[in-house]
Amino acid sequence: MSSHEFAKRPTDREQKHILYFDFSNRHSACIFAAMLIEVLKSKIHRVTVTEANLNYIGSITLDPLLMEAADMIEGEKVQVLNCMNGERLETYIIEGERGSGVVCLNGPAARKVTPGDVVIVVTYAHMTREEARDFKPAIVFPDTATNKLP
């Protein structure tokens, strides 16, 4: 292979998540990885903010029952979409009291919500197109008045 040619890129099906190194040209190496797309992994659709705590380090506190139903874990990055004012923010989850229905924005994020606002909490995952075609996100629809699952 000349220095002006490129190695044949393996298809996503051939390589999945494996990196492919081509050292056929001694002066340079080509590294290929499967193309990943970002897709919806989980969603808590329309819960009510119960608290906004400006004097906390940061994050969103969620009831573990909501987290488990939506396949979310503590420390996971989330996007919070405020249905009342259009704000969007990214933060991470901390676990609140089980069964409490707590949805509390902490730290700087507390400035983006008011208790009583309705929000959507989403997470995303990276996967190949092939994996994404078969993937089904976890989506939960709690009671907006209580934040409890039906």
Residues that are catalytic? 59, 92
- From CA 141, how far away is CA 94, in angstroms rounded? 20
List, in order, residues 6 or more apart from 86 with CB less than 8 Å away: none
Which residue from 32, 24, 26, 31 is spatially nearest to 1, judged by alpha carbons?
A: 24
Q: How many residues make up the chain in this entry? A: 150
